[in-house]
Amino acid sequence: MSRPKIVAGNWKMNKTLSEAKQLVQSIIQAFNEFDDVIKIIIPPFPFITSTVELLSGASNIYIGAQNCSTHTSGAYTGEVSATMLQSVGCRYVLVGHSERRQYFSEQASDFKEKLQQAFTNNLTPIYCIGEKLEQRKTNTHFSYVQQQLDDVVKDFSPEQFQKIIIAYEPVWAIGTGETATPHQAQEMHAFIRSHIETVFGRAIAQQLPILYGGSCNAQNAQELFKCADVDGGLIGGASLKAEEFCQISKSF
Ligand code: PGA
């Protein structure tokens, strides 16, 4: 079964508007040849509209958001709804990123609501999971990741779950320069896929895109993307450089 190849660039809280526009323009130039890789740019909220405008006509490059509200609309100062994101041209949204878990105390109940918001508004959620160093060291990383899946999966129908993307991002590898080895990544991706198979069956598990994230860059992407169950990457730091992001997307 062939799954889509995907590279998503999470810009996090970086860039000003003029820098963001420059980066998008450089990305468009760098990706001047058509290929079958789905590219997703995930800028901060204020830059989404200009990014969508700049990308109109660019093939196979889509926009995502870094977060969305658990609420639909109303008196929730500072929140951004999935409906709003959809209305400005977003196609994807991150849910459960480890920085949201760690710094903003988001938890399973939030993720279930955010995933529901994404599905209702026709956004593809990228649900991020991954163990911390302490679980890796105590060899509890598989059960930890399984729990992060179980936290949400049972609330969704197979039809909904068919539209999700999973990103496995070991927390110890995010922004640290330390990457999971291809063996570690493959082992966990295969585990995630087999767990999803037990819940939703083989067909859904086989078509589920699972991205690797955590210090993925132009040097290590090829080895990681070669792994049978690694369908691409969620890239942080290295997505802020157009050439490198493009190089990563050519690493399949
Ligand atoms: P990194 O971030 O590539 O800078 O490690 C990945 C992520 O947080 O999605």
Residue nearest to ligand 1 atom 7, measured at CA: 236
CB 236 within 8 A of CB 174: yes
**Closest by CA position to 114, among listed 102, 126, 131, 103:** 126
Mean pLDDT of 69-97: 98
The residue whose C-alpha atom lies closest to atom 2 belonging to ligand 1 is: 236
pLDDT value for 1: 63
Q: What is the pLDDT of residue 57?
A: 83
- b/e map of 51-72 (b: 16 or more CB within 10 Å)? bbebbeeeeebbbbbbbbbbee
pLDDT in tens, 91-112: 999 999 999 999 999 999 999 9
How far is 232 from 36, CA to CA, in rounded Å? 12
Q: Which of 99, 106, 113, 169 is catalytic?
A: 169
Catalytic residue status for 169: yes
Q: How far is the CA of 235 from the centre of ligand 1 (A)?
A: 5
**Which residue owns the Cα nearest ligand 1 atom 1?**
236
pLDDT digits (tens, 9 = 90+) for 19-34: 999 999 999 999 888 8
Q: What is the pLDDT of residue 58?
A: 86
Least confident of 1-5, 130-134, 169-173, 241-245: 1-5
pLDDT for position 199: 95
Whether 183 is catalytic is no
Give the position, in ligand 1's atom list, of the atom nearest the Cα of 175: 5
Instruction: In whole angstroms, give the CA distance from residue 111 to residue 97.
Output: 10
